[in-house]
């Protein structure tokens, strides 16, 4: 039988900051974006802060009302990425089957490691100690015969018991998992919870008992997945190549202020297209469908749109993407201020698999120009070459160069 772990780092960002500042060990601490900008949201709260009601994802000012002695630390994303990779290397000392699930969660298959390292619980304890000794971050580990059981074990039991380890066995689901509220199940969000409760489904066990046909008739393949998850079934293996095949390349940003006029919105739109195409070229990919997402500035009245258009042929040339994105924006923008903008490329193909055209004779020059610009930026920095529009007050290129994932490095 397979033995899968989900290794989850407790309050990952906050734990790293407490390791950096030992004097804050007994203080309620959160990692949060800048409250003076729109990014004042709790990214990670330590256990002491959570005990006072602070939650990940809430506004910083709300957290400070709950906890008046809250210590606020800005995120240092490059450090978190570095330590995440370090933890991956630690896990690779126990098995060659390591699959990152997020920056602070990783699946590992230890089925073939037990002859060397002992039974599953012993391996889990060794991994916990190893990660703590190297990083001063506490790991919680869910154990199951497949990935979904390991995830459910970690989320519902490992995170809540003293040892930080729990083995969720399929034959014991009736006593362990099924009595839990349906919203505790992985893959069930707020809207799905409402739908299920309207059907009279309150617990995971009740969901597991619903005939598969009923769920499939209502939600199709998603209904099938819900049934499998509730019954602890998952056929997907732990794979080291699960993230190798991209389906989309995109970039978005929450603006530092409300952008009102078309001229300044065009500046950021062009910068986002530049970043998307740069990422596409680094992956040696092109995209044929351009998608733009816009969110309005008002928190009271939600507005915005999500639209896409398909090009005649794939591209990773900035101006090709920008012209389509701009047309979509002009067509669907309601003239109200915006606070968030995103651009993405889908329907991807490799850049060496392009249909030849008798009419687009300048295509190769455009593509070559993009790669030349990438080479200059790789050598001298991402802001070594920028467009003149980025020098205006609306430009965000220099600010974004200081960040990873929207937060400062």
Any catalytic annotation for residue 275? no
- Do the annotations mark residue 234 as ligand-binding? no
Query: Which of 105, 145, 274, 326 does the annotation list as catalytic?
Result: 105
Alpha-carbon distance 80 to 320, whole Å?
35
- Do the annotations mark residue 351 as ligand-binding? no
CB 40 within 8 A of CB 254: no
Alpha-carbon distance 204 to 143, whole Å?
19
Residue 225 neighbours by CB distance under 10 Å: 17
Decide the pairing of beta strands 338-350 and 248-259.
antiparallel
Q: Of how many residues is the chain composed?
A: 409
The C-alpha torsion from 138 through 166 and 81 to 61, rounded to 10°, is -70
User: In the structure encoding, which two tokens stand for residue 57, read together?
Assistant: 């994802």
Alpha-carbon distance 64 to 121, whole Å?
39
CB 215 within 8 A of CB 85: no
CB 98 within 8 A of CB 92: yes
3-state secondary structure 255-323: EEEEECCHHHHHHHHHHHHHHHHHHHHHCCEEEEEEEEEEEECCCCCCCEEEEEEEEEEEECCHHHHHH
Q: Any residues with CB less than 8 A from the CB of 181 and at least 6 apart, and which?
A: 202, 203, 204
Q: Any residues with CB less than 8 A from the CB of 209 and at least 6 apart, and which?
A: none
Alpha-carbon distance 285 to 173, whole Å?
44
Residue keyed to tokens 């409250």: 35
Binding site members for Mg(2+)? 8, 104
Binding site members? 8, 104
Q: Write out the catalytic residue numbers.
A: 105
């Amino acid at each position: 039988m397979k033995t899968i772990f989900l290794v989850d780092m407790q309050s990952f960002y906050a734990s790293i900051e407490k390791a950096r500042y030992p004097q804050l060990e007994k203080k309620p601490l959160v990692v949060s974006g800048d409250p003076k900008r729109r990014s004042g949201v709790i990214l990670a709260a330590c256990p002491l802060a959570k005990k006072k009601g602070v939650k990940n994802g809430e506004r910083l000012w709300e957290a400070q009302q709950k906890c008046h002695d809250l210590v606020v630390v800005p995120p240092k994303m490059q450090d978190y990425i570095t330590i995440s990779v370090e933890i991956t290397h630690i896990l690779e000392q126990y098995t060659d089957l390591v699959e990152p699930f997020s920056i602070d969660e990783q699946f590992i298959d230890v089925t073939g490691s037990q002859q060397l390292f002992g039974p599953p619980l012993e391996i889990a304890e060794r991994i916990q100690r190893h990660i703590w000794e190297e990083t001063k971050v506490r790991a919680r580990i869910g154990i199951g015969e497949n990935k979904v059981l390991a995830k459910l074990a970690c989320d519902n039991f490992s995170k809540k018991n003293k040892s930080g380890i729990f083995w969720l066995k399929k034959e014991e689901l009736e006593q362990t998992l099924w009595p839990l509220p349906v919203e505790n199940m992985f893959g069930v969000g707020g809207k799905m919870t409402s739908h299920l409760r309207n059907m009279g489904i309150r617990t995971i066990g009740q969901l597991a008992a619903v005939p598969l046909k009923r769920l499939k008739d209502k939600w199709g393949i998603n209904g099938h997945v819900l049934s499998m998850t509730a019954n602890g079934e998952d056929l997907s293996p732990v794979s080291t190549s699960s993230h190798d095949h991209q389906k989309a390349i995109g970039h978005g940003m929450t603006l530092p202020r409300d952008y009102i006029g078309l001229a300044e919105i065009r500046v950021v739109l062009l910068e986002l297209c530049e970043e998307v195409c740069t990422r596409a070229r680094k992956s040696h990919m092109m995209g044929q469908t351009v998608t733009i997402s816009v969110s309005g500035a008002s928190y009271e009245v939600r507005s915005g749109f999500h639209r896409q258009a398909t090009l005649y042929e794939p591209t990773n040339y900035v101006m090709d993407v920008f012209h389509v994105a701009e047309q979509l924006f002009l067509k669907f923008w309601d003239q109200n201020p915006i606070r968030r903008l995103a651009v993405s490329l889908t329907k991807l193909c490799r850049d060496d698999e392009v249909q030849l055209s008798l009419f687009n004779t300048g295509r190769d020059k455009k593509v070559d120009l993009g790669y030349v610009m990438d080479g200059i930026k790789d050598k001298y920095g991402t802001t070594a070459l920028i467009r003149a529009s980025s020098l205006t007050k609306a430009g965000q290129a220099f600010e974004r160069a200081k960040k990873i994932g929207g937060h400062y490095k």
